[in-house]
Amino acid sequence: KAGVTQTPRYLIKTRGQQVTLSCSPISGHRSVSWYQQTPGQGLQFLFEYFSETQRNKGNFPGRFSGRQFSNSRSEMNVSTLELGDSALYLCASSPRGGVLNTEAFFGQGTRLTVV
């Protein structure tokens, strides 16, 4: 069965631009969680969507937003990009939510570089 697919894998953007990242979960999974990973801060939770509704949100500014479609695919948008937004963005899918379970799987991530 196909895993979690994130596109694109790599992205370079300029400060002030906006970016949209995509995550296709494992078939049948209704939850998609997004994480930001940087060398200094480690992996930090952004938000989680379940059945098209945002269920939880981490401590990130409003420039970070997301949505989930009826087919469970999710997109994450970052507006007015800053240099500090350069990171690996990871999404995880699971049937019922969260990542603290054996059924949660992460994608390979999208590496965003802001110049």
> What residues make contact with another protein under the rule CB under 8 A?
4, 33, 35, 37, 41-45, 48, 55-59, 90, 92, 97-102, 104-109, 111
- Nearest approach in angstroms of CB 102 to another protein is 6
Cα within 13 Å of Cα(112), Cβ side: 30
Q: Which is nearer to another protein, 18 or 86 (CB)?
A: 86
Q: Which is nearer to another protein, 27 or 56 (CB)?
A: 56
Length of the chain: 115
Give the whole-angstrom CA distance, residue 74 versus residue 52: 8
**Do residues 113 and 50 touch, judged by C-beta distance below 8 A?**
no
- Nearest approach in angstroms of CB 17 to another protein is 24
- Nearest approach in angstroms of CB 86 to another protein is 15
Q: Which is nearer to another protein, 18 or 41 (CB)?
A: 41
- Nearest approach in angstroms of CB 88 to another protein is 8
Q: Which is nearer to another protein, 14 or 102 (CB)?
A: 102
Burial class (CB in 10 A: 0-12, 13-18, 19+), 14: exposed
Measuring CA to CA, how many Å separate 63 from each of 20, 27, 28, 101? 12, 29, 29, 29
